Amino acid sequence: VEDPLRVLLTGGAGYIGSFIADQLYFKGHEVVVLDNLSTGRYVGPSVARFVLADLRDRTLADRVIREIAPEAVIHLAALKSSPESIESPNAYFHNNVAGFANLLAGLEGPTSPPILLSSSCAVYGAVSAAPVGEDASVSPQSPYGESKAFCERMATWHATRFGNAFAALRYFNVGGARDDGSLGDFLQAGSTQLLPACVHAAWHGTPVPVHGWDYDTPDGTAVRDFVHVEDVAAAHVLVLEGLKAGGPGGYFNVGSGYGTSVQSIIRLFEQVSGRSLKVDRRGRRPGDPGFVWAKTDRIYSAYGFQAGKSVAQLVQSEWDWALSRSSGVTELDPWSRVRRRLAEGGAAGVCVSGRILRCDAK
């Protein structure tokens, strides 16, 4: 790019963040990751500086932001499970809302940089029509969705006050891995979400839990919008560069724009793995609608973004990722590298390639 940016990427050691870090780097941007490694594990060579910090620590967040002086911010650091958030609402508000408030406070000023916020289709709640557009009512059905909706409005007020560019990307169901199986979601094991459960089922013969068989859909199972993680990452780069060039802000769906049933996903896993999957038929979960998929024209007309990868490619890459992990091709514990660096540096801030940024909150 002509105008490379120093981008602060919070949550950049996580699943989606690691793909964004790599794509930013390949476009020539400087990537600074801030992560507390609570769920994130990946710190790749595309990361110029890695800062181990927790956004719930206001003093530390302030110091880090001052030291980094980011020219753009992408905020992903958050907890992300709706069912877990119903069990632990306050942990979700503390992490997702208070953490983001600390970040925004650190970015106050006349030159507040453009902010891109990771949001979710969970802000819509139980939708009654598909596809769902950005103007649909915001009525989250979980503390997780509520935290995302609140973050969107916090950032909107911040932008009103400080004049920075701001966009929130509302992703639908993100999945997939890198085509060569070298990067994917490290924390899938034990997840009850559909894609990891399918991988596990094909691998170990355990049944896939399927919630609801009697929806008013072609095969009775729920229909959702699955979007490839490489497409989601590409949307971030496109919108960030677009915002910097004066493009429109606001709320944007990031989805494939079409729906795929749970049953079809299971069939695709059977095809790629050559194994037949057992299913565990369960009742509908409260608040789970039959159909959800994204209306995608807003981000297309503003930034020309359209998801390019199919659901078949998404499933194939998930399976290749599982194969590469099991064969040991992929380093299973990238976390060990971070730990080693921390031990060497003896500081709360550590860097993986490039300069060491120390940021002990003492």
Ligand X SMILES: NC(=O)c1ccc[n+]([C@@H]2O[C@H](COP(=O)([O-])OP(=O)(O)OC[C@H]3O[C@@H](n4cnc5c(N)ncnc54)[C@H](O)[C@@H]3O)[C@@H](O)[C@H]2O)c1
* Active-site annotation, residues: 144
Of 35 and 320, the one with the shorter C-beta distance to ligand X is 35
Stretch binding ligand X (CB under 6 A), from 29-37, 155-163, 267-275, 342-350 = 29-37
- Give yes or no for residue 16 binding ligand X (CB under 6 A): yes
Task: Rule CB under 6 A: choose which of 174, 199, 292, 351 binds ligand X.
Answer: 174
Residue of the chain from 22, 35, 152, 318 that contacts ligand X (CB under 6 A):
35
If the CB atoms of residues 95 and 142 are measured against ligand X, the closer one turns out to be 95
Contact (Cβ atoms closer than 8 angstroms) between residue 269 and residue 315: yes
* 154, 147 Cβ separation under 8 angstroms: no
Burial 282-294 (b: 16+ CB within 10 A, else e): eeeeeeebbbbbb
Could you give the string, one character per residue 177-216, with x where binding to ligand X holds by CB under 6 A and - elsewhere? ----------------------------------------
The one among 92, 124, 166, 171 contacting ligand X by CB under 6 A: 171
- One-letter amino acid for residue 8 of the chain: L
Q: Binders of ligand X among 248-307, rule CB under 6 A?
A: none
Please report how many Cα atoms fall inside a 13 Å half-sphere around the Cα of residue 141, on the Cβ side: 12
Distance in angstroms (rounded) separating the CA atoms of residues 78 and 207: 30
56 lies in the site for ligand X, by CB under 6 A: yes
The interaxial angle of helices 143-162 and 99-106, nearest 10 deg, is 10
> Tokens representing 320?
């290749």
Q: How many amino acids of this chain bind ligand X (CB under 6 A)? A: 27
What distance in Å separates the CA atoms of residue 202 and residue 199, rounded to the nearest whole number? 5
Whole-number Cα distances in Å, 61 to 80, 100, 104, 196, 202: 21, 10, 10, 33, 42
Tell me which of 7, 8, 14, 47 binds ligand X, using CB under 6 A: 14
Give the Cα separation of 125 and 146 in Å (integer): 9
Q: At what angle do helices 229-244 and 15-26 cross, to 10 degrees?
A: 50
Residues 61-90 that bind ligand X (CB under 6 A): 76-78, 80
Of the ranges 48-56, 205-213, 327-335, 354-362, which one interacts with ligand X (CB under 6 A)?
A: 48-56
Residues 29 and 1 sit within 8 Å (Cβ to Cβ)? yes
Residue 36 binding ligand X, by CB under 6 A: yes
End-to-end CA distance of the chain: 38
- Is 13 an interacting residue with respect to ligand X (CB under 6 A)? yes
**227, β-bridge pairs:** 174
Applying CB under 6 A, which part among 33-41, 124-132, 203-211, 323-331 lies near ligand X?
33-41
Segment near ligand X (CB under 6 A); pick from 10-18, 126-134, 152-160, 209-217: 10-18
Judged by CB under 6 A, does residue 118 bind ligand X? yes
Q: Does 15 bind ligand X (CB under 6 A)?
A: yes
Of 44, 70, 99, 113, which one interacts with ligand X (CB under 6 A)?
Answer: 99
Q: How far is the CB of 360 from ligand X (least distance, A)?
A: 16
257: which 2 tokens? 């724009």
Task: Show the beta-strand stretches assigned E in 22-165.
Answer: 30-35, 49-52, 72-75, 115-120
Stretch that binds ligand X, among 50-58, 242-250, 320-328, 336-344 (CB under 6 A): 50-58
State yes or no: residue 155 binds ligand X (CB under 6 A): no
List Cα–Cα distances, 237 to 18, 25, 116, 358, in angstroms.
Answer: 13, 10, 10, 28
- Interface positions with ligand X (CB under 6 A): 10-11, 13-17, 35-40, 54-56, 76-78, 80, 95, 99, 118, 120, 171, 173-174
